Amino acid sequence: MHSPRKRFGQHFLHDPKVIQRIIHAVAPRPEDELLEIGPGTGVLTEPLLGATGRLTAIEVDRDLAGHLEHRFAASGLHLLRGDILDFDFMRSPCERPWRVVGNLPYNLSTPLIFRLLAAGSALEDIHIMLQREVAERMAAGPHQRQYGRLSVMVGLSAVVEILFHVGPGAFRPPPKVESSVVRLRPRPQPSAPIPSLAQFSATVRIAFAQRRKTLRKIFSGRLREDDFARCGIAPQSRPENLSVADFACLSRCLSGTAVVTHNACG
């Protein structure tokens, strides 16, 4: 039995009921191009392969990769050894968008989510297990306690749905936190017009770095009172009060692309 390694943040799923719920949520089809992130001991790999007959998986742990290659040698598994953060999502074998499935290491979940969302139309959907706290931050809306930079960035690029929660006992070793299975559906276009992803991201980052301050103070010297007025935003508001569309409008004002249209920038 493979011993979980702390440096990879490994917690191996073993609960058959949870495994079945994930497969049911993914609902794999024979024509799908499936990409499994961190197949680990293969508990999801086997039913995914059974449904489609082929699967691409990427595993960073060499020992686990060797085990998987031996176990699924006669199957349609295409196993890659390496870091998912380096994976080129444009390399789909049949030029279909990927359907991504994975149990994410908690220490990599946020950067990996950003990496997945950056792939855009190269992904059809994403079904991932991650820390419940992170899942709730992703799905949060304005005025909610969990709402923050991750909520806004994910909301711009994808539709988020928390499918179900999973207790620590479903894993070996049990993590100290609860987990959640989340479905992300990348949007064909951003949910609001932005000047560029870099400008939008910078606007959101600056705002939430000083989230206890008012927008007037945060963007002092960068935004004018009429910028807030055109966006329909009260300058005394705080970042957690703004929608994705509000941040998009402010980013357009900051980039100099603001136009007065229906009382909003853009």
**Per-residue pLDDT, 98:** 95
Judged against a pLDDT cut of 60, whether residue 258 lies above it is answered with no
Percentage of residues of the chain with pLDDT beyond 90: 76
**Per-residue pLDDT, 73:** 87
**176 and 261 together in one domain:** no
d(CA 237, CA 212): 10
Q: What is the dihedral of CA 170, 61, 54, 111, to 10 degrees?
A: 80
Which residue, among 21, 19, 18, 49, has the nearest Cα to 34 in the 3D structure? 49
- Write out pLDDT tens, residues 52-104: 999 999 998 888 899 999 999 888 999 999 988 899 888 777 778 999 999 88
Judged against a pLDDT cut of 80, whether residue 210 lies above it is answered with yes
CATH code assigned at 254:
1.10.8.100
**76 and 132 together in one domain:** yes
**106 and 40 together in one domain:** yes
User: Domain for residue 191, yes or no?
Assistant: no
| Domain's final residue, options 186, 210, 242 | 186
Mean pLDDT of all residues belonging to the chain = 90
260 band by pLDDT with thresholds 50, 70 and 90: very low
Judged against a pLDDT cut of 50, whether residue 2 lies above it is answered with yes
User: Domain for residue 192, yes or no?
Assistant: no
**Per-residue pLDDT, 217:** 97
d(CA 167, CA 179): 6
**Per-residue pLDDT, 106:** 80
d(CA 93, CA 75): 17
What is the mean predicted confidence (pLDDT) over 240-247?
98
Percentage of residues of the chain with pLDDT beyond 70: 92
**98 and 222 together in one domain:** no
9 band by pLDDT with thresholds 50, 70 and 90: low
- Write out pLDDT tens, residues 168-181: 999 988 989 999 99
What is the mean predicted confidence (pLDDT) over 112-132?
93
What is the mean predicted confidence (pLDDT) over 31-41?
93
**Per-residue pLDDT, 173:** 87
**Per-residue pLDDT, 8:** 47
User: Domain for residue 116, yes or no?
Assistant: yes
By residue range, what is the domain housing residue 29? 6-186
d(CA 1, CA 7): 18
Helix, strand, coil shares of the chain as percentages rounded to 5? 40, 20, 40
What is the mean predicted confidence (pLDDT) over 120-141?
95
**Per-residue pLDDT, 265:** 47
**181 and 102 together in one domain:** yes
**Number of separate domains in the chain:** 2
Sequential DSSP letters for 15-61 = -HHHHHHHHHHH---TT-EEEEE--TTSTTHHHHHHHHS-EEEEES-
**Three-state secondary structure call for residue 162:** strand
